[in-house]
Structure 1
Amino acid sequence: MTDFAPGAGYGKSNRKLKTALIQHKALTLDGLSERLFGLLFSGLVYPQIWEDPAVDMEAMQIRPEHHIVTIGSGGCNMLAYSSAFPERIDVVDLNPHHIALNKLKLAAFRHLPSHADVVRFLARHDMKSNIQAFDMFIAPRLDSATRAYWNRRGLNGRRRIGVFGENIYRTGLLGRFIGLGHLLARLHGVDPTEIANARSMREQRQFFDERLAPLFDRPVVRWLTSRKSSLFGLGIPPRQFDELASLSSEKSLAGVLRQRLEKLSCHFPMKENYFAWQAFARRYPMPHEGELPLYLQAERHEAIRNNAERVHVHHASFTELLAKKSADCVDRYVLLDAQDWMSDRQLNELWTEITRTSAEGAVVIFRTAAEDSILEGRVSPALLDQWRYDAAQSQALNLKDRSAIYGGFHIYRKAA
């Protein structure tokens, strides 16, 4: 089949990714969990990013002179940021599949003829014409490694790019995990796609309370959510699982996941929350149904197209990239939830480079699986004392995050 299989990357291998994830010896339970997670995470994980770029941009207040460094993931964030005309965006990711996807999305904006073509390519499913659009407009302008990646054929002889003629958002580790969640719900008599028919937030609440919430009390769901490996598909590594499970006396994530799903289902109108559409309908809404992600909205198209050349994609870790930069040159840092995976040593190495490279007025944003910031008590006071935690805005913006899958959103500002 055409697949984004673990280890099937291009260019450099996945060794950097696996090294970053593994902190325990192989012949231990923790070590085995880390290695299994690393294997699964070395394929395509996120076709769409699951952090809300609108929240990010409100926190960062991007200006034209800003230099941003961000983790790539599914690429939606860096495209949204580029619509604010920053001087430079450096995108880093240890996963070569994400690197290829970020480069493809950038090329789609640069080379497809119109906004409608970009939306058709990146937001619509079952569009076989997308393959012709790739061959005609995008492939000739890609670098050779990225072009080879998307032209690579699977066991059935089909090229990877073929997923854009079907529904790429049903692929990848998270896409398949969502699919399994739908299957499990249907086996219990619940069709999650029905929430897309809700005409009001009241109807969304009713569907959640009556149909979705009771699923978390089913024995099989409680059993599955107490197993680390069963939630690797949600992108929850062993360390994150342990932190979240510590919040429950049952050592299960059923309660935590129920709470996060409630926010996704009930706190925002469906027409305004494309994350909910991906979770429940497994696609983006059509124009009469709701809004597309920021980067696919018509009023941002020309800005992103014109600024695409300011975006530079690197197969590297955040710390590795920063170590090559001069002092005082970066204005905004976007860490997603990567710190949840890090050891104390890795955190201190990262924040040493963040502090060294940060310009006056720099801002760091990140998310955590649990509610609290993970930095206090783990990062050296000598480093953290140079930053101010903006607790009020962090809490306010966390409430606005439509993806709803994280416990905390955090903003650190460079101390004057």
Structure 2
Amino acid sequence: MTQTATFTAADATSRLQNAVRQNPLLSRAGMAEYVFASLFRKLVYTQIWEDPNVDMEALEIEPGQRIVTIASGGCNALSYLIADPARIEAVDLNPAHVAFNRLKLAALSALPDYETFYRFYGRADDTMNVDAYEHFIRPVLDRETRSYWEGRTLSGRRRISMFHRHLYRHGLLGQFIGCGHLVARLYGIDPRQLLQARTMEEQRHLFEETIAPLFDKRLVRWLTSRKSSLFGLGIPPRQYEALSGNGSGGMATVLRERLERLACEFPFSENYFAWQAFGRTYSDGEDASLPPYLLRGHYETIRARVGRISVENISITDLLAEKPDASVDRFVLLDAQDWMSDAQLNALWREITRTAAPGARAIFRTAAEENLLFGRVDASLLRRWDYREVASREFHRRDRSSIYGGFHLQVLKG
């Protein structure tokens, strides 16, 4: 595995601040951006919230191709290995995400079997996981990653201990979901009840009876009206504006609609995103819904190919700037463009267009429904790309995570 490049706290802070900051620090908007960037240096996503099945169908990855992707929680990058690409370069401005991904790569290569790997990342709540870290994973980690996981939090615990304390309840998003459960319980509602549903009809009934009324509560509407309250979702101030302006009822209405889709439009037996939202875990058993990289049937394939992935603490624009022309086949941008200014968007798409190989595909998601490139990115660049609008709408409809307003596929012309 190529994962030896160092990342310093000062470098990471500078990159995040440059990515997020759009306003003067002493302004109200600038202070919100500063606080978000500071929080985003911590672990945010222990699981990525983009559907890898939709990604792989849209990308049409062919054996031998080269992929550049934003890492986030790493589930999707690992899952792309199923399609046999030659190389996956994952980047993330968050140093905690880099450490999280490097640990996952080391676990895949060093843990002895599927059962041990699944216990580590599937159940993620067993004290034996720390023993497995010490005996198998620690010896193959680079110094920076080892230092991160053996460092201590404010509670005095080593970070690696979260793997025996319900991993998916950690990170800013895990804590945000936990706060959502706490607020629900204040009103006598246990979100885990939804997972008892056995049919789509029961799912909708339970949602409308238990979860939907919460969004009419004064406390919930007040909380969701504050940008800072949603930082735990990984929503920066600029993305909050796009989301809250996407409906007439404010952020509470938007979140209710997204949660309704998550709860009602896909069977729970096929949607691990719903299990994480309502149960704060994965379902268990032979028929469990899991990210592709965690399925037993893909384990040996992914393990054999894990050396094809690298993870670096750098922006995707800076990574592409170092590459030759026509050297990348697939680009995965997640929702990062929602954070960007027009200048940053144009810089990114100049590099994407320059480095795109014939037939290249790029996918991204947006908080709002619209493709944000039009009217913001240089028209001469966009003319090089075919926006697959109809296919994009269909991919969005099938995205089980349900938290975004739009999915977008761009294909290089010619």
One fold, TM greater than 0.5? yes
Q: Structure 2: state its 5+ residue gaps.
A: 1-6
1:321 counterpart residue number? 319
CA distance in structure 2 between the aligned counterparts of 1:114 and 1:368, rounded to whole angstroms: 38
Instruction: Single out whichever of 280-289 and 106-115 deviates more from structure 2.
Output: 280-289
2:13/2:38 contact within 8 Å kept: no
Structure 1 residues 157 and 41, CA, compared in 2 at 3 Å: closer, same or farther?
A: closer
1:4 counterpart residue number? none
CA distance in structure 1 between the aligned counterparts of 2:33 and 2:307, rounded to whole angstroms: 37
2:4 counterpart residue number? none
Deviation at 1:318, TM superposition (A): 0.4
Deviation at 1:13, TM superposition (A): 3.5
Deviation at 1:10, TM superposition (A): 5.7
- Residue 108 of structure 1 aligns with an amino acid whose one-letter code is A
1:49 counterpart residue number? 48
Q: Does 1:174 align with 2:184?
A: no
Deviation at 1:125, TM superposition (A): 3.5
1:3 counterpart residue number? none
Q: Does 1:61 align with 2:60?
A: yes
Residue 348 of structure 1 aligns to a residue whose secondary structure is helix
Q: Does 1:286 align with 2:284?
A: yes
Among 389, 392, 403, the alignment partner of 1:391 is 389
Deviation at 1:11, TM superposition (A): 8.3
Residue 375 of structure 2 aligns to a residue whose secondary structure is coil
CA distance in structure 2 between the aligned counterparts of 1:65 and 1:185, rounded to whole angstroms: 48
Q: Structure 1: state its 5+ residue gaps.
A: 1-7
CA distance in structure 2 between the aligned counterparts of 1:247 and 1:269, rounded to whole angstroms: 26
CA distance in structure 2 between the aligned counterparts of 1:200 and 1:27, rounded to whole angstroms: 52
Q: Does 1:18 align with 2:17?
A: yes
Structure 1 residues 82 and 15, CA, compared in 2 at 3 Å: closer, same or farther?
A: same
Among 234, 245, 268, the alignment partner of 2:266 is 268
Structure 1 residues 85 and 72, CA, compared in 2 at 3 Å: closer, same or farther?
A: same
Q: If the length of structure 2 is used for normalisation, what is the TM-score?
A: 0.96
CA distance in structure 1 between the aligned counterparts of 2:59 and 2:388, rounded to whole angstroms: 12
Deviation at 1:289, TM superposition (A): 6.5
2:196 counterpart residue number? 197
Q: Does 1:248 align with 2:247?
A: yes
2:129 counterpart residue number? 130
CA distance in structure 1 between the aligned counterparts of 2:137 and 2:194, rounded to whole angstroms: 36
2:292/2:298 contact within 8 Å kept: yes
2:12/2:313 contact within 8 Å kept: no
1:9/1:149 contact within 8 Å kept: no
Q: Deviations over 1:288-342 (max 9, x none)?
A: 5631111101111111111111101111000000000000010000000000000
CA distance in structure 2 between the aligned counterparts of 1:334 and 1:349, rounded to whole angstroms: 16
1:23/1:343 contact within 8 Å kept: yes
Q: Deviations over 1:256-302 (max 9, x none)?
A: 11110011001111111100001000011111563111110111111
- Residue 188 of structure 2 aligns with an amino acid whose one-letter code is G
CA distance in structure 1 between the aligned counterparts of 2:124 and 2:86, rounded to whole angstroms: 33
Residue 325 of structure 1 aligns to a residue whose secondary structure is coil
Instruction: Single out whichever of 137-146 and 354-363 deviates more from structure 2.
Output: 137-146
Residue 333 of structure 1 aligns to a residue whose secondary structure is strand
CA distance in structure 2 between the aligned counterparts of 1:22 and 1:11, rounded to whole angstroms: 16
Q: Deviations over 1:361-416 (max 9, x none)?
A: 00000000001110000000010000000011111111111110001000000011
CA distance in structure 1 between the aligned counterparts of 2:154 and 2:337, rounded to whole angstroms: 36
2:125/2:167 contact within 8 Å kept: no
CA distance in structure 2 between the aligned counterparts of 1:221 and 1:86, rounded to whole angstroms: 45
Deviation at 1:105, TM superposition (A): 0.6
Q: If the length of structure 1 is used for normalisation, what is the TM-score?
A: 0.96
- Residue 284 of structure 1 aligns with an amino acid whose one-letter code is Y
Residue 38 of structure 1 aligns to a residue whose secondary structure is helix
Deviation at 1:247, TM superposition (A): 2.6
Q: Does 1:309 align with 2:307?
A: yes
Deviation at 1:153, TM superposition (A): 2.7
Q: Deviations over 1:144-196 (max 9, x none)?
A: 11112111133454321111111111111111110110011111111101111
2:95/2:313 contact within 8 Å kept: yes
Aligned CA RMSD, in angstroms, stands at: 1.4
Number of equivalences: 408
- Residue 198 of structure 1 aligns with an amino acid whose one-letter code is A
Structure 1 residues 289 and 176, CA, compared in 2 at 3 Å: closer, same or farther?
A: farther
Residue 57 of structure 1 aligns to a residue whose secondary structure is helix
CA distance in structure 2 between the aligned counterparts of 1:159 and 1:235, rounded to whole angstroms: 24
1:12/1:96 contact within 8 Å kept: no
Structure 1 residues 9 and 287, CA, compared in 2 at 3 Å: closer, same or farther?
A: farther
CA distance in structure 2 between the aligned counterparts of 1:158 and 1:225, rounded to whole angstroms: 31
Deviation at 1:235, TM superposition (A): 1.4
- Residue 192 of structure 2 aligns with an amino acid whose one-letter code is T
Q: Deviations over 1:125-145 (max 9, x none)?
A: 430000011111111011111
Q: Where in structure 2 are the equivalents of 1:136-175 lying within 5 Å? A: 136-175=135-174
Residue 322 of structure 1 aligns to a residue whose secondary structure is helix
1:70/1:78 contact within 8 Å kept: yes
Structure 1 runs of 4+ off > 3 angstroms? 8-13, 154-157
CA distance in structure 1 between the aligned counterparts of 2:293 and 2:207, rounded to whole angstroms: 29
CA distance in structure 2 between the aligned counterparts of 1:83 and 1:247, rounded to whole angstroms: 36
